[in-house]
Chain A
Amino acid sequence: AQSVSQHNHHVILSEAASLELGCNYSYGGTVNLFWYVQYPGQHLQLLLKYFSGDPLVKGIKGFEAEFIKSKFSFNLRKPSVQWSDTAEYFCALDMRFGAGTRLTVKP
C-alpha cells in the first residue's frame, strides 16, 4: 500500500535560512511525487512534481526537490527562505498526501 511520511511537523526558520523538508514514501512501483503548498487562507496548490528523468526538479518560487530512489525520499529544499514562504507544505505520492509540515518564517 502507498503511504507518505513527513517527519517534520512544524519548522521555524529565520529569513534567509536554508530549508529542507523531509518526505519519505512507501511504494514499490512507478512513483509520481508532488509537493503542494497551502498559504494561509488559500487553496492547496502545486509547488513541483516528479514523474521521471532528472531526479532534481525545480518548482515555483525557488523551491526544488530531489528524488532519491534508494532512500524512498523526495525532500523539498530552498536555499534562502522568505517570510512569504510561511505556509503548510504537503508531500504527495499520486493522490496520497503526507500529514504536512507547517513552516513559519520569522522576519
Chain B
Amino acid sequence: KAGVTQTPRYLIKTRGQQVTLSCSPISGHRSVSWYQQTPGQGLQFLFEYFSETQRNKGNFPGRFSGRQFSNSRSEMNVSTLELGDSALYLCASSFTGTGPMNTEAFFGQGTRLTVV
C-alpha cells in the first residue's frame, strides 16, 4: 500500500509569508502528527490530529496551525514566517496515534522549508 505522502518536497519562502504543507496518510490511518526536524533541536512535536480533531499539541507558537480533513489528509500552516522556521517538516501517520492501542508511526519524506 502507498506510504505517507508529503507535498511539496521543497519550498523556499521569504520572511513574513505564510506556507501550507500537505500530508496524505496511509490509507486507514486516522492519526496524523507533524514534527519539525532541525540539526540542533532534533525532532520536535508540533501537533497530532485524530479524526479531524487536534488531540495533542507541542510547544510551538500560534503561527503554527493545522487541520485534518474527513479523509484523514492533513495540512499544516505556518504564518508570518521567520528565518528560524527553516527546517524539515515531517508528517507521520498511525492507525490510532496514542494510547494503549497505538501502533508504530510511518513517516513521510518530509517537506524541506527554507525561509530567506
Task: List residues of A whose CB falls within 8 A of some B CB.
Answer: 6, 30, 32, 34, 36, 43-46, 49, 51, 90, 92, 94-100
Number of B interface residues in the complex (CB < 8 A): 23
How many pairs of residues, A versus B, come closer than 8 Å at their CB atoms?
57
Counting from the closest, the 4 A-B pairs by CB-CB distance are: A99-B42, A100-B42, A94-B98, A44-B107
Q: How far is the CB of A60 from chain B (nearest CB, A)?
A: 12
**Which of the candidate stretches B8-16, B17-25, B74-82, B89-97 sits at the interface with the other chain?**
B89-97
CA distance A44 to B92 in the complex (A): 9
Contact A95 B43 (CB under 8 A): no
CB-nearest residue of chain A to B45 = A96
Contact B42 A90 (CB under 8 A): yes
Q: Which residues of B contact A51 (CB under 8 A)?
A: 100, 102
CB-nearest residue of chain B to A49 = B104
Q: Which residues of B contact A99 (CB under 8 A)?
A: 41-44
Question: B72 at interface (Cβ–Cβ under 8 A)?
Answer: no
Candidate in B33, B43, B104 with the most chain A CB atoms within 10 angstroms? B43
Point out the residue from B56, B108, B109 that lies within 8 Å of A95, measured CB to CB. Answer: B56
Q: Which residues of A contact B42 (CB under 8 A)?
A: 6, 90, 97-100
CA distance A82 to B58 in the complex (A): 35
Q: Which residues of A contact B98 (CB under 8 A)?
A: 32, 94-95
CA distance A1 to B92 in the complex (A): 20
Offer 19 A-B interface pairs, CB within 8 angstroms, sorted by A. A6-B42, A34-B105, A43-B108, A43-B109, A44-B43, A45-B107, A46-B104, A51-B100, A90-B43, A94-B97, A95-B48, A95-B92, A95-B94, A97-B43, A97-B45, A98-B42, A98-B43, A99-B43, A100-B42
Contact A92 B107 (CB under 8 A): no
CA distance A51 to B100 in the complex (A): 8
Contact A34 B104 (CB under 8 A): yes
CA distance A94 to B102 in the complex (A): 7
CA distance A16 to B99 in the complex (A): 37
